[in-house]
Amino acid sequence: MTLPIRNVAIIAHVDHGKTTLVDALLKQSGIFREGEDVPDCVMDSNDLERERGITILSKNTAVHYGETLINIVDTPGHADFGGEVERVLGMVDGCILIVDANEGPMPQTRFVLKKALEKGLRPIVVVNKIDRPQADPFGAVDKVLDLFIELGADDDQCEFPYLFASGLSGYAKTDLEAESEDMQPLFEAILDHVPPPIGDVNKPLQLQVTTLDYSEYLGRIVIGKIHNGVINSGQQAALIKEDGKIVKAKITKLMGFEGLKRIEIESASAGSIVAVSGFADANIGETIACPDDPEALPLIKVDEPTLQMTFAINDSPFAGQEGDYVTSRQIRDRLMRELETNVALRVEETDSPDRFAVSGRGELHLGILIETMRREGYEFQVSQPQVIYREINGQPCEPYELLALDVPEDAMGGCIERIGQRKGEMQDMRVAGNGRANLEFVIPARGLIGFRGEFMRLTRGEGIMNHSFLEYRAMSGEVETRRNGVLISFDEGVATFYALKNAEDRGVFFIEPGTKVYKGMIVGENNRPQDLELNICKTKQLTNHRSATGDELVQLQSPVDMSLERALEYISSDEMVEITPESIRLRKISKKLARR
């Protein structure tokens, strides 16, 4: 007899406590033995996820509550990783929407919730972080209802059940005044409000591939939900490819989920989420079916990318000194491998064999790919991100974003002025009463390129900025994104303290003394609009005369730290970012590349 099953996704805006809440559910379910050392955010297993404190890849786990097996899918909260959300929502029958008791729903809550409502899922709303000061749980519930109505939810969806919780403290409750010490009310809500999976065990097998994994021993592993039928370890099955071609293979291993582990099982039936090995060519959205009566499920539709970059081989004077993989063939193979698991990414070859057009959902989406490749030992360079234009009904259109800013009140004027110059239109303004204000805008996606650094300066580092794709609209004319010129090295060598100190009045530097530089490398930002070439390798001419100020301690102003995201936002159309495992450098495009 098979256990009753519930399949549920957890969706939320970035930093609203989604992964922490999953931690609390896992701990209460008893999957960890007593005394076991369990890290925080146990589902964020990727190094980049832990460093940045965000979920990038969707992952699933399973817990037992009484006699029921609950499959939980943790999804990313950032719109740039919407491809991860879209493909896993087909695996679940309900979702838990988590909102912060203080902030309420945010732009990316809207994005993920819209996808869930379109799938017909009925969310359970969890108002998290109720133990924080300034929390307004009932205000958050009212804002969620407004959002449901705005997104066109039906009457059943608007009658959503809601709970109050603190993921960090590990409790949930249906009544704000009630006492609670654990997550039992949330488990009960899942059993009561998430319907069991719909599927017929007597029909021929249909399993849709939603996630890909790889094992050195088993090769490619496909993860997905069984929509109909029964699957057995060792049986013959048919893979229905995207183009309709059928490939037959044997299921070499069948695995289910228990806690954070995969366990080998002999069979599974409709409604179960399983991992299968034996299909080396399987891709996201394809169907594993009965070989005697193969019938494909509808392919997973993912929103198109809105931003494009050029990835090229590194041709700087320092090329090949720091990376393990530097050739165009190695970069191409890595990008093609990424396509197998990253459904929202597009890679196209260009006229030049050593340049590739890579399209994604946003700067963060592409930035995570670049950072991952860099850590794997790849060396390459990338161009300024460009928005992808489309023609709709014969009219040129561009992507627009919904932008939400949380800023100090005294920075409101400067932010509104700069966004207006970038063709943004204000939709809403709320002053919170605690010295901060919430502003909402609709802005062309190209108006946001390079804005984050400027926003941080305007708010003195105290602002919070979130944005998500809204829709394609008619072109809005020129967007003003003026930036000062750059300081460029006109010699190859090592930057000296003497040269940097002498040029300090020219602008701010991105490098420090002892940094290796080459001709054409960008070393700082000019105070004026023009680019300026400098000799920053110049050394002081030594004499046997002692200076009257020779013993004074001379200090250099701190350089600006150009992180990967900051560098991608900063560069202009005639500049590139050189990416190596050890360095991130900015440079002017060489004449050779510019001619292509």
Whole-number mean pLDDT of the chain? 80
105 close to 99: Cβ distance less than 8 angstroms = yes
| CA dist., res. 43 & res. 78, Å (int) | 16
Residue 381 pLDDT > 90: yes
For the record, the structure tokens of 297 come out as 């499920």
93 close to 8: Cβ distance less than 8 angstroms = yes
Query: Binning pLDDT at 50, 70 and 90, where does residue 140 land?
Result: confident
Residue 66 pLDDT > 60: yes
The pLDDT value given to residue 312: 92
206-289 placed in CATH 2.40.30.10: yes
Q: What is the pLDDT of residues 258-314, one digit of tens each?
A: 776 788 888 888 888 888 888 887 877 888 888 888 888 888 766 678 889 999 999
Q: Which residue carries 């071609």 as its tokens?
A: 245
| CA dist., res. 225 & res. 231, Å (int) | 11
Backbone angles phi, psi at 49, to 5 degrees: -65, -40
Look up residue 336 and give its DSSP letter: H
Residue 330 pLDDT > 90: yes
The 3-state DSSP class for residue 516 equals: strand
CATH of 486-571, one of 3.40.630.10, 3.40.50.2300, 3.40.1190.10, 2.40.50.250: 2.40.50.250
CATH number of the 5-193 domain: 3.40.50.300
The pLDDT value given to residue 73: 80
| Domain ranges (residues) in the chain | 5-193, 206-289, 394-474, 486-571
Look up residue 315 and give its DSSP letter: -
Report strand pairing: 94-100 vs 123-128.
parallel
Determine the average pLDDT of the residues in 334-346: 80
Binding residues are: 15-20, 128-131
Residue of 505, 504, 507, 509 whose CA lies nearest to 524: 509
For the record, the structure tokens of 51 come out as 């460093």
- Burial zone of 484 (CB within 10 Å; 0-12 exposed, 13-18 middle, 19+ buried): middle
Backbone angles phi, psi at 520, to 5 degrees: 95, -5
Give the CA diameter of the chain: 97
Q: What percent of the chain has pLDDT over 90?
A: 9
Residue of 29, 43, 87, 73 whose CA lies nearest to 342: 87
Residue 504 pLDDT > 80: yes
| CA dist., res. 181 & res. 172, Å (int) | 8
More confident residue, 328 or 89: 328
Determine the average pLDDT of the residues in 423-439: 83
Residue 33 pLDDT > 50: no
Q: What is the pLDDT of residues 147-166, one digit of tens each?
A: 888 888 888 888 888 888 88
Fold of 394-474: Alpha-Beta Plaits (3.30.70)
132 close to 102: Cβ distance less than 8 angstroms = yes
Residue 344 pLDDT > 60: yes
Residue 584 pLDDT > 80: yes
465 close to 458: Cβ distance less than 8 angstroms = no
Determine the average pLDDT of the residues in 428-448: 83
Determine the average pLDDT of the residues in 236-253: 87
Determine the average pLDDT of the residues in 4-33: 70
More confident residue, 229 or 113: 229
Domain 5-193 and domain 394-474, same fold? Reply is no
Q: Which residue carries 């597009």 as its tokens?
A: 346
The pLDDT value given to residue 52: 42
Determine the average pLDDT of the residues in 396-408: 86
Binding residues for GTP are: 15-20, 128-131
The pLDDT value given to residue 38: 40
Q: What is the pLDDT of residues 526-574, one digit of tens each?
A: 888 888 898 888 887 766 565 545 544 567 788 888 888 788 888 888 8
